[in-house]
Amino acid sequence: MRRNVLARRGHFWTMKKRLANCRTNLRVGGNKMFSLKDKVAIITGAGQGIGRAIALALASQGAHIVIADINAKSAGSVIDEIRALGNQAIVVEGNVTNEADVQKMVADTIAQFGKIDILVNNAGTVLTGPLTEIALGDWDKVMAINVKGVFLTCKSVIPYMIERRYGKIVNIASVAGKIGGGLMGNSCYATSKGSVIALTKAIAKEMGPYNINCNAICPAFTDTPMTVNFPKDKREAIIRAIPLGRAGKPDDIASAACFLASDGAAFITGEIMDVNGGLVLD
């Protein structure tokens, strides 16, 4: 009987120790599971909106940040915010549709930090209107930024991740890529984001053996500079359809990106994560 009592006590203390370790592991920023300390992250289109929020969120968890943006002025203001947190940060001005610019972005990152741990493909544009009224040039522009840009950045960054057998890729897609657009007719945008979803899954399959995770986030309507001129009646109609009753905020998307960029998501790849207030449930 005494032996059984001692065995139960031993089991009790073992479980107590495991629970204590678990609580430590789950403390964001306090443990390796969610901490991004000294990770190096490239975020495209990080000069404003969702990209800015993601850059600041990753920096708040200890990451050093490369802001890749076509607008160096807006990117510069974000750099100041990141450095105020005590993190290193650089700006690389360039266009994600230009392969030479993307290669320079990668080269500058390696020269400054020596590695790339995280890539967030956030740069994007939107086009609304009936399919029959979309000019070919406008269609090509959206596809170039939203799809070709993701392809080029992944193509250029992944070899460095393969070399170290480590990497986290987070692509910003959209609920439009799942449901085919919204109230205003945006078949072009929906097609581009549907392509991002497909590319995310393909990369996850190809790069899994190299310990590279690739996931996507699908926001719904989010308050950003890109949506500030959205017609009021359309905006209100969309929000009425969202169970949580509000538009998304850039920080909502940034929180999800932080998780997917962390080792807390080590066994998650090919996931298309909805961050849409319940607008789409799948």
SS (HEC) of the chain: CHHHHHHHHHHHHHHHHHHHHHHHHCCCCCCCCCCCCCCEEEEECCCCHHHHHHHHHHHHCCCEEEEEECCHHHHHHHHHHHHHCCCCEEEEECCCCCHHHHHHHHHHHHHHHCCCCEEEECCCCCCCECHHHCCHHHHHHHHHHHHHHHHHHHHHHHHHHHHHCCEEEEEECCCHHHHCCCCCCEHHHHHHHHHHHHHHHHHHHHHHHHCEEEEEEEECCECCCCCCCCCHHHHHHHHHCCCCCCCECHHHHHHHHHHHHCHHHCCCCCCEEEECCCCCCC
Angle at 118 between CA 194 and CA 260, to 5 degrees: 60
Catalytically active residues, by annotation: 189
d(CA 173, CA 122): 8
Residue (of 141, 140, 202, 199) closest to 171 by Cα position: 199
Cβ atoms of 121 and 154 closer than 8 Å: yes
Cα-flanking dihedrals φ and ψ of residue 237, to 5°?
Answer: -65, -40
